[in-house]
A and B are shown apart, each in its own frame.
Chain A
Amino acid sequence: MKSLKILKTFILLSTVLLAHSYVNAQQASPGLTLPAGFKASVVADKLGKARHIAFNSKGDLFVKLDRSKNGGIVMLKSNGNSFEQTPAFGNYSGTGIAIHDGYLYASSNKEVFRYKLNDQQQVSDPSKPETVVTGLIDRGQHNSKSIAFDNDDNLYVNIGAYSNSCQQKDRQKGSMGREGCPILDSAGGIWQFKADKLNQTYGDGTRYATGLRNVVGLDWNKQTNTLFVMQHGRDQLHDLFPDLYTEQQSAELPAECMYELKKDDNAGWPYLYYDQLQKKKIVAPEYGGDGKKEADNKYIDPAAAFPGHMAPNALLFYTGSQFPEKYKNGAFIAFHGSWNRSPQQEGYFVAFVPFKDGKPAGDWEIFAKGFAGTDKVVSTNEAQHRPCGLAQGPDGSLYVSDDVKGTIYKISYQK
């Protein structure tokens, strides 16, 4: 009788273990459409709201989870061809995660923390992070603090504007813009801090670039030695100014812009937006624009422009050698997918822009699509997966995170 009980326990355990290893094994054909020669697999699933992702040098993948009740960072330990999920840590929401100089950095919506990595490149004391930056503004809207590093020990943090277009009444039909938009003092730009100094706040940092409504995807370009960012353009031109913009114009405009930033650059939000059809910087209707009036040329031009509202949530310059030559040093962009386009939403894919000598060298193209699980998304919550984070694996594969179901995709090229 006792041996039967042991046998039963054994069978039960084996089943659980088998099921567990199945989950961790790579699942083929996740329904993505890719260029010829590429294949995709799912390496992890059901993690939660998986935002940005970062690899350590051993090939383990750190995933930043937003709004998780069981810890905000999870490490997927590499077992060669598959990953093993380890217990989550870090009791805070947020988006940003990166590895720099022996530390794992992660952001909440107000702070940036860091964890010392041991010789296995793992976090040895997950309960005691150091606070690198604190006291950043979080008023709900555009509160994610994405992070990136340069080669000189500087940390760049996006602080998104807590507003759509700095109207006197946010998102109120016809409400005009606030004069000398005060939001820009503490948000609507990229701030620079020291990577190795603790407890910094606004006074310790520099407003590196301003006039950026909300940046979620950003990456340091090692070829140009400059920061590139993807801005989420303003919403609702037609809803707010129906006499100036048709519903169709409002769906296409304004562009989602890629900017190359130099210190003290101003991209012009909220005073202007970039119209990718006219290829011009146009004065925002809140500040006296009519859809045609051009903005002052002191504001910088985008390096690349994309259709409106597709929500670029990650930017990655590809430095690997696994992919064909055309991808080398080019930009991958994870478009989270739109909500304020009518009658049909767009995005929900990973795009690619070829680069030559540090500049875009050709039109953007869709690299990976099919995340939404349907060709036609009318309402945003119909999308089954939404691309949110990007990382380059040690072997040159591209990894994509999804913050609907918490799926991690691996995309590889076979010669």
Chain B
Amino acid sequence: MRFFLAFVFLSTCFSINAQTKKASTAKTSVTAVSSIAAGKAVYTQYCVTCHQANGGGVPNLNPPLIKTSQVLGEKTKLINILLKGLDTHEEINGDTYENVMPSQSFLTDKQIADVLTYVRNSFGNKASAVVAADVKTARAKIK
């Protein structure tokens, strides 16, 4: 009996846990999926020329977006690259790139969040989503 009770208790725990987990995963993925889809459209319009359809960039000219610390690392830093542009020619995965990244600050907070969520979950990348509130916060800090 004691054994049975313990079994029921344990099963219930598992099942509740599983349900909670399932619900939250489903919720996140629905949001992420729509953000990724919207982000792909932004990427195709504003990013694809330089960073290319496969995210591989152009050797020596435009950096790749595949598994780089800039793309997968701290979100605020990544958001700021879009808001401010980048012309430091810093090393990216051991190589440097000659072209400048122009500022994309004309994009809305949501567009930036979507495109970054798309990039962080495409080309073999897997990282958490960027939300519009993150972009809003970063934008407010730029004078």
Contacts and interface: CB of A to CB of B under 8 A. Distances in A.
A380 interface: yes
Contact of B89 (A140, A171, A378): A140
Given A173-B106, A339-B61, A340-B49, A380 B56 contact: yes
Consensus secondary structure, chain A interface: loop
Interface in A336-395: 339-340, 342, 378-382
A239 B59 contact: no
Interface size class on chain A is 20 to 34
Interface string A127-141: 000000000000011
Interface size class on chain B is 20 to 34
Given A339-B61, A380-B59, A171 B54 contact: no
A235 B50 CA distance: 10
A313 B60 CA distance: 14
B54 A379 contact: yes
Contacts of B78: none
B95 interface: yes
B99 A379 contact: no
A322 to B, nearest CB: 33
Contacts of A142: 98
Given A378-B54, A379-B54, A381-B59, A342 B48 contact: yes
Contacts of A66: 60
Given A170-B100, A171-B102, A172-B103, A339 B89 contact: no
A267 interface: no
Consensus secondary structure, chain B interface: loop
B53 A381 contact: no
A143 interface: yes
Contacts of B125: none
Given A171-B100, A172-B103, A404-B59, A67 B49 contact: no
A373 to B, nearest CB: 15
A382 B48 CA distance: 15
Contacts of A239: 46, 49
B56 to A, nearest CB: 4
A141 B60 CA distance: 10
Nearest to B97: A140
Interface string B60-95: 111010000000000000000000010101000001
Contacts of B61: 339
Contacts of B54: 378-379, 381-382
Interface in A132-171: 140-143, 169-171
Contacts of A404: 59
**Which residue, B54, B60, B99, B106, has most C-beta atoms of chain A within 10 A?**
B99
Interface of A: 49, 66-67, 140-143, 169-173, 235-236, 239, 339-340, 342, 378-382, 404
Interface of B: 46, 48-50, 52-54, 56-62, 64, 85, 87, 89, 95-96, 98-100, 102-103, 106
